[in-house]
Structure 1
Amino acid sequence: MIKMVTVDMDGTFLKPTNEYNRSRFEAIYQTMVKQDVKFVVASGNQYYQLKSFFPEIAEQISFVAENGALVISEGEELFCGEMDLELVGEILIFLADLPEVRTILCGRQSAYVSQETDPVFVDYGRIYYHRLNVVPNLSELTEDTFFKFALNVPEEMTEEIVTLFNQRFDGEITAVTSGHGDIDLIIKGLHKANGIQLLQKKWGIHEDHIASFGDGGNDVEMLRHAGHSYAMSNGSQVAKDAAKFVAPSNHDEGVLVIIEQLLDKNQSEKA
C-alpha cells in the first residue's frame, strides 16, 4: 500500500521541455486525495520555483526544497537549515581560486549571485531560482539564512570538483551532483531523505509505504530510503544503483505511468 509519493523534478517528473502533462496529473492527484496518498515534491531547486509548477494545489502538498534544506508542508514551514556564516565565508574564499566555477548562494528569502557573474548564467539560474538577486559581493551578505551553494562547472569537471569539495570540507558539507555540470553544496545530513523523514513523522507513514522517483546523485538517499524507489531510465547510473526499480523515461511520463499503476494496486488491495 502506497501512502506517500515523492518526486524529483528535473529529469524525473518534468519532461525535457520543463513541463508535465497537467491534465493527466490532475486526474492522478484527485485519486491520490481520495486514497489519502501524500504528494511530495523533493528537489534541489528553490521553493518559490517549485511551487510555481503547482499553483492550484501548492498549499495542499509538501515540498522538500533545496535538497532537503527547506521543508514546507501544506503551507507550513517544518524545517529550515542554516549554514554557519563562518563556513559560508570559508567556502567563498575557496571558490575564489576556482574561476571555472559559477556560484549561486541560496538563502531562505532569496538566492544570490555576484554582479561579476556572466549574465548568461544569471538567466540560466533564474529558471531554477525565481527569487535571484544580483549583489555586489556575496561575502558581504549577512541578512538571510543561508543553507546551500548551487555551483555550475564544465560538465567534464563535475566529479573532480565534487571530490575537491568533499575532501576540503569533509564533515561540514556534502557536494552532490544533479547532472549537466550542476553541483549542490549542502549541509551535512540535510539531504532529501532527511526532509522526507520529517514528513513521515508528521503523518505517521513508514518508509515501506513510500514511492520515490529520481534521476541523479542528489536523489540517492531518497531512493535508498523508500520502500518503492524508481530511477528514471534516462537517469544516472548512481541513481539506478540506489533504486529498486527503473521507471520509463521522463520523456515518456514515466513517473505518471508508475503512479497510476501504484494507485490501481492500492485500490485492488482495498477491495
Structure 2
Amino acid sequence: MGIKLIAVDMDGTFLDDSKNYNRARFAKQYEQMKAQGIRFVVASGNQYFQLKSFFPEIDREISFVADNGGWVVSEDKDIFNAELSRQEYNTVIDHLLSLPHVDIITCGKRNGYTLKSYSEDFKQMAAMYYHRLELVEHFGHPDDVIFKIALNLPDDMVEDLLDSLAVVLNGVMVPVSSGHGSVDLIIPGVHKANGLRILQEKWGIKDSEVVTFGDGGNDAEMLRQAGYSFAMENAPEKIKKIARFQAGHNNREGVLDVIDKVLNGEAPFH
C-alpha cells in the first residue's frame, strides 16, 4: 500500500517565513509525484486566489482546500462550497464588532471584505493573504457566499479569545488558531480534514494512504485524520503531540525533505 495523496498547509509549513519555497526542487518532486500517481493538495486557511498564485504552472492540475475547507477546488473545478447563513453571519458579526482590538475579514467566494476604516498597516497585511479584497464601509452581509471569518488581534489575546468565542458562538462557528495573532472562525465540521475527505472519496483514497503537514491549530483535524501526519519543527508543542511524526523547520525545506522520503520509499514509508 503506497502513498496516494500529499496535503500541505502553506504558512509556517510549505512556505518559509519569507513566503517562498524552493520552486526548482518542488517542480522535480511534482513530476515524480505524477509519475507515481500521488495527488498534491494545498490545504490552507488562506484565500483560493492567493493560494493558486504560488503554483501558476500547475494550478489547473492540483487541488486546493482553501479557507480552511470552506472551498474545495480540484483541477480547476468547484467541488465543494460551504456557506454561512445570513442569520448566522449577522449573529457572529454583531458579537465581533463589540470586541476591542480585533480586526475582521469576512471571507467570501468572490472576495474578502474588510473595513475601509481599519489601519493602513492592517489593510496592507490583509492584501498579502487576500488577492481579492474589497474595502467596505460596514459589515452588512455582502452579495456573496461566506465561507469563513478571519480575525487579527494582538498575540497575547489569542488564547483568551479562542476560549470565549468557543462559548459564545457554540454551534454557530468554531474558532481555531491560524498563526501569529490570527484566529479563523469556521463553520462546524467544515475544516481541512473535511475537504480532504471529500477529495479522498472522489479518488478512492484511504486515510492510511495520505500524508499531511501542518503547524497550527487549524491543521489539527487533518493531522489526526491522515495515516502519516507531520508537524513542523517550528510548530507549537500541542500540535506536535497531535501529529504522528515531525518534519524539519519550515525555513529549512522540512516538507520537501519528507516528500523525498515518500518518493524514495524511505522510512516511515517503506
State the match for 1:46 in structure 2.
47
Q: Deviations over 1:158-207 (max 9, x none)?
A: 01111111100111110000121100000000000000000001100001
Structure 2: distance between partners of 1:237 and 1:70: 29
- Give the unaligned 5+ runs of structure 1: none
State the match for 2:216 in structure 1.
216
What is the correspondence of 1:52-201 to structure 2 with a 5 Å cutoff? Answer: 52-139=53-140, 141-201=141-201
- 8 Å CA contact 1:83, 1:187 repeated in 2: yes
Structure 2: distance between partners of 1:118 and 1:142: 21
State the match for 1:228 in structure 2.
228
Q: What is the Cα deviation at residue 91 of structure 1?
A: 1.2
Q: Deviations over 1:71-101 (max 9, x none)?
A: 0000110001000111111111111211210
Secondary structure in 2 matching 1:109: coil
Structure 1: distance between partners of 2:104 and 2:220: 23
- Which AA in structure 1 matches 2:25? R
- Give the unaligned 5+ runs of structure 2: none
State the match for 2:261 in structure 1.
261
- 8 Å CA contact 1:217, 1:236 repeated in 2: no
Moved over 6 A (4+): none
TM-score (norm 1): 0.97
Structure 1: distance between partners of 2:210 and 2:147: 26
Q: What is the Cα deviation at residue 216 of structure 1?
A: 0.4
- 8 Å CA contact 1:178, 1:216 repeated in 2: yes
- 8 Å CA contact 1:174, 1:187 repeated in 2: yes
Structure 1: distance between partners of 2:211 and 2:142: 39
Q: Deviations over 1:76-133 (max 9, x none)?
A: 1000100011111111111121121010000010000011111210100011110000
Q: Deviations over 1:43-70 (max 9, x none)?
A: 0000000000000000000000000000
Q: What is the Cα deviation at residue 136 of structure 1?
A: 1.0
Secondary structure in 2 matching 1:138: coil
State the match for 1:28 in structure 2.
29
- 8 Å CA contact 1:216, 1:238 repeated in 2: no
Structure 1: distance between partners of 2:237 and 2:177: 12
**Identity value in percent:** 46
CA RMSD, 1 decimal: 1.2
What is the count of residue pairs matched by the alignment? Answer: 267
State the match for 1:18 in structure 2.
19
TM-score (norm 2): 0.97
- 8 Å CA contact 1:220, 1:238 repeated in 2: no
